Amino acid sequence: MRRPGPALRVALLGVTATLTGFALLAGWLGFHAYAYDQARERATARTNGVIVEDGLGEGEDIRVRWKDRSGREHVQRFGVYDTGRYAKGRHFPVVYDPDETDPRGFPGDPEETSDEDDLLVPILLAGVTAAALCSVWAWRGVRFRRAARRPGRPMTATVHCGVRPVSSQALSETLWLALTEAGVSDRPVAWQRIMWHTALDELRGPVEVSAHHRAGSRGAVVAQLPDGTRLVPLGRLRHRAPRRVFLDEYTVVRATLEDSFTPVDAAARSARPWWWPGAQAAAVGLVVGALAGALFIGGTTVAAVGMALCGAALPVALWAQSAPRP
């Protein structure tokens, strides 16, 4: 059985991380949303509480003091939409389950569904995000297939490594093909960003390729190497070199700003699996997401786990879409 190429492996990893992260997040939040809905249905007893604080946090929540049938007093925080209606000192209707020893209160107004929506809305947003991320890979695949079926014409290609500063301490690395008319001129007439492939490490200098592209359009070019390898394009075809990108000749060992001052251990880099940077991004995102959920977004276990799942899946999906080079 033929193994998938590097571009397909990266795409599969990105799609798998996206769908797995969405499935886990939807399952986690959906389970708690269902439990919330069931608990609210059992809340048949009704009482009036008194608002002791208002305008809490960014959502302007309220804190209410209320008593159950046994006379036990409760102080509970509620999320509400109609914040102007519920001010300190006013009454707030509360419903609860009379059969519970320590009942949980719910807003008596059925229109106040802020707590439930806090569980359901993230599922919708995560679904839209997952669909958008997967559609990028789908579009790349369709564009690659369409371009590869077009007639090819001989051109000369040179592989360049592009580096663009994204911050004071981080660099964004991309791969570009500089395409020239075979036997006509050494000046590039087109530039195409591509995904990394193992065949690129065997190239030395300019190479004759077959460029598959619709004449007169700015659509992507699929360059086919002499050994039959077809390189996956990213983005549109450019007739000028990309701006704000430092282009240098492609080398097997990456050259970054940090490498200019620190010796590079090529053997150690090659020994690492290709997915290792993605795993590192997932681990960092998991920790950062959990801390953000615990400290800034509600501070509950539900928020911490939900943010941790997002923090683990999203960086891997974005890392894969950046067409990483091992």
- The 10s digit of each residue's pLDDT in 84-126 is 899 999 999 999 999 999 999 999 999 999 999 999 999 999 9
Q: Which CA distances in Å does 193 have to 73, 121, 142?
A: 65, 37, 17
Distance CA 237, CA 241 (A): 10
Q: Evaluate whether 201 touches 250 at the Cβ level (below 8 Å).
A: no
Express as a percent the part of the chain with pLDDT over 70. 90
On the question of pLDDT at 203 being above 80, the answer is: yes
On the question of pLDDT at 258 being above 90, the answer is: no
Collapsing DSSP states into helix, strand and coil, what is residue 74? strand
Residue 162 pLDDT level (bands cut at 50, 70, 90): confident
Distance CA 97, CA 74 (A): 13
Distance CA 163, CA 245 (A): 6
On the question of pLDDT at 259 being above 70, the answer is: no
Report which residue type is found at 287: V
Residue 73 pLDDT level (bands cut at 50, 70, 90): very high
Distance CA 192, CA 219 (A): 10
Among the ranges given (187-201, 252-266, 289-303), the one the predictor scored with the smallest mean pLDDT: 252-266
What's the confidence (pLDDT) of residue 11? 94
CA 180, chain centre distance (Å): 36
Among the ranges given (43-47, 160-164, 191-195, 265-269), the one the predictor scored with the smallest mean pLDDT: 265-269
On the question of pLDDT at 55 being above 50, the answer is: yes
Assign residue 205 a region (left: φ > 0; alpha: ψ between -120 and 50; beta: otherwise).
left
Distance CA 326, CA 315 (A): 16
Distance CA 143, CA 237 (A): 12
Question: Per-residue b/e over 97-132, b at no fewer than 16 CB within 10 Å?
Answer: beeeeebebbbbbeebbbbbebbeebbeebeebbee
Among the ranges given (51-55, 214-218, 245-249, 273-277), the one the predictor scored with the smallest mean pLDDT: 214-218
Q: Which residues pair with 76 in a beta bridge?
A: 64
> Could you read off the pLDDT of 122-141 as tens digits, one per residue?
999 999 999 999 999 999 99
